[in-house]
Amino acid sequence: MRILLVNGNTTAAMTETLVATAREAAAPGTEIAGATGTIGAAIVSHRADEAIAEHAMLKAVAEHDGAYDGVLIGVSTDPALGALRALLPVPVVGMTEAALLTACMLGARFGLVTFSLASAPGYREAVERYGLVSRLAGLRTIDIPLAEAYAKREKLAEAIVEVANALIETDGAEVLVLCGAAAAGLPALLQPHVPVPLLDGIVCGVRLTEAMVRLGAAKPSRGSHAPPAENRYTGLDEATTRLLRENAATPDHG
Q: What is the mean pLDDT of the chain?
A: 91
How many CB atoms neighbour CB 151 within 10 A?
11
Question: Which residues make beta-bridge pairs with 6?
Answer: 35, 73
* 252 has pLDDT over 60: no
Give the single-character DSSP code of 10: S
213 three-state secondary structure = helix
Minimal CA–CA distance to 101: which of 208, 212, 19, 253?
A: 208
- In whole angstroms, how far apart are CA 214 and each of 11, 36, 207, 235? 31, 26, 11, 38
Q: Are residues 104 and 134 in the same domain?
A: yes
Q: What are phi and psi of 33, to 5 degrees?
A: -110, 145
How many residues are listed for the chain in this entry?
254
**CATH code of 168's domain:** 3.40.50.12500
Alpha helices in the chain (DSSP H): 12-25, 47-63, 81-87, 95-104, 120-129, 146-151, 153-169, 186-190, 201-215, 238-246
**Of 164, 186, 202, at which residue does a domain stop?**
202
Residue 219 sits in which domain range?
Answer: 2-94+206-253
Q: Are residues 74 and 45 in the same domain?
A: yes
The predicted structure's pLDDT at residue 119: 78
Q: Are residues 112 and 65 in the same domain?
A: no
The predicted structure's pLDDT at residue 66: 81
Tens-place pLDDT, residues 175-221: 999 987 777 788 888 999 999 999 999 999 999 999 999 999 999 99
How many CB atoms neighbour CB 190 within 10 A?
18
Q: Are residues 120 and 101 in the same domain?
A: yes
Model confidence band, residue 153 (pLDDT cutoffs 50, 70, 90):
low
Q: Are residues 169 and 74 in the same domain?
A: no
114 three-state secondary structure = strand
Show Cβ contacts of residue 114 under 8 Å, excluding neighbours closer than 6 positions: 120, 123, 139, 140, 141, 142, 179, 180
The predicted structure's pLDDT at residue 142: 87
Q: Are residues 125 and 176 in the same domain?
A: yes
Q: Are residues 117 and 57 in the same domain?
A: no
Model confidence band, residue 121 (pLDDT cutoffs 50, 70, 90):
confident
What percent of the chain clears pLDDT 90, i.e. is strictly above it? Answer: 75
Model confidence band, residue 253 (pLDDT cutoffs 50, 70, 90):
very low
Give the single-character DSSP code of 231: -
Q: Are residues 184 and 108 in the same domain?
A: yes
Q: Are residues 64 and 128 in the same domain?
A: no
93-121: average pLDDT: 92
Q: Are residues 138 and 229 in the same domain?
A: no
Minimal CA–CA distance to 60: which of 32, 89, 40?
A: 40
Give the single-character DSSP code of 221: S
**Of 202, 222, 241, at which residue does a domain stop?**
202
Q: How far apart are CA 243 and CA 184, in angstroms?
A: 29
Higher pLDDT, 219 or 148: 219
Higher pLDDT, 197 or 115: 197
* 144 has pLDDT over 80: no
Q: pTM for this structure?
A: 0.91
Q: Are residues 134 and 79 in the same domain?
A: no
The predicted structure's pLDDT at residue 30: 98
The predicted structure's pLDDT at residue 254: 45
The predicted structure's pLDDT at residue 149: 57
Q: Are residues 38 and 133 in the same domain?
A: no
Question: Which range scores top for mean pLDDT: 68-72, 74-78, 115-119, 150-154?
Answer: 68-72
* 163 has pLDDT over 80: yes
Minimal CA–CA distance to 83: which of 46, 119, 56, 122?
A: 56
**Of 159, 183, 202, at which residue does a domain stop?**
202
CB–CB of 34/16 below 8 Å?
A: yes
41-60: average pLDDT: 91
Q: State how many domains the chain has.
A: 2
Q: Which amino acid is at 31?
A: E
